[in-house]
Amino acid sequence: MSARWKVYGIAVLAVLLVASHLYVYFQGVEANPYITVSRSVPKWSEAKSTKRWKKAKKVTVPCVNVRAVVPNDHSQPLGPRPSGDLVGTSKSDITFPLLLGEWELDPMPWGGTAQATLDESGDTHLATLPNARPFLEVGRLREFAAWYGLGPMGSTWALSYQQDILRLGPAWLRGRAEFGKIRSDYEPTWKAELGVAFRF
């Protein structure tokens, strides 16, 4: 196979890889948004109560003035929702603020929304909705590393700095600078590089 056809083959594979990721991104994939480069369709999920909350002693307090709204059709959480006006009279012996629940939250690296609800039995619930991964993002990850190794040519060492510059869909534009020795009897060398990485 000639060198020209090898280059064509690699180019076609790269185009197909990028196109497939962009297609999946724009179609929306119901997947965990924290472990995939493909765009996900976030869903409401009910947060789990912590072990401390499950073991805590629960008490019933007199009815107090509670302000509640019924969510519209576009923002309904999975958890129970109040069935009507929750209005009563305050009691002077209640200490505020009242602890209504304690939950363990899933990671939401791009923010999100939380809704607290109260059901007919008096139990409280929390539902969360993470924001979808944006298509365009400025890099935030920076890395400094020191390396040391042994090989057939002797010992090697290097100092490196890497920086995420910009993300477009699944593709990251990255920068890297390195200074070190590739073998013990060589002079130290340095290099600076720009590259594109696909994370999935």
Q: Mean pLDDT by 10-residue block, N- to C-terminus, for the chain (200 residues)?
A: 75 76 58 49 81 82 74 52 41 72 84 86 88 82 90 85 89 92 80 88
Q: Could you list the residue range(s) of the whole structural domain that residue 91 is in?
A: 42-130
pLDDT in the model for residue 23:
64
Q: Which of 80, 95, 130 is the last residue of a domain?
A: 130
Q: 123 and 140 share a domain?
A: no
pLDDT in the model for residue 178:
94
As beta bridge partners, residue 181 has 157
Q: 32 and 102 share a domain?
A: no
Q: Residue 91: enclosing H or E segment and its boundaries?
A: none
Amino acid at 107: P
Let me know if 35 is exposed, middle or buried by CB neighbors in 10 A (0-12, 13-18, 19+).
Answer: exposed
pLDDT in the model for residue 155:
84
Q: 7 and 47 share a domain?
A: no
For the chain, what is the domain count?
3
Q: Which of 106, 130, 154 is the last residue of a domain?
A: 130
Q: Which of 130, 146, 162 is the last residue of a domain?
A: 130
Let me know if 38 is exposed, middle or buried by CB neighbors in 10 A (0-12, 13-18, 19+).
Answer: buried
Residues listed for the chain: 200
Q: 26 and 48 share a domain?
A: no
pLDDT in the model for residue 179:
94
Let me know if 82 is exposed, middle or buried by CB neighbors in 10 A (0-12, 13-18, 19+).
Answer: middle
Q: 54 and 17 share a domain?
A: no
pLDDT in the model for residue 130:
86
Q: Residue 13: enclosing H or E segment and its boundaries?
A: helix 3-27
Q: 76 and 29 share a domain?
A: no
Two tokens, residue 105: 């939250």
Q: 35 and 80 share a domain?
A: no
Q: 6 and 23 share a domain?
A: yes
For residues 97, 100, 106 and 107, what is the CA-based torsion angle, rounded to 10 degrees? -10
Q: 91 and 167 share a domain?
A: no
Q: Are 123 and 53 in contact (CB under 8 A)?
A: no
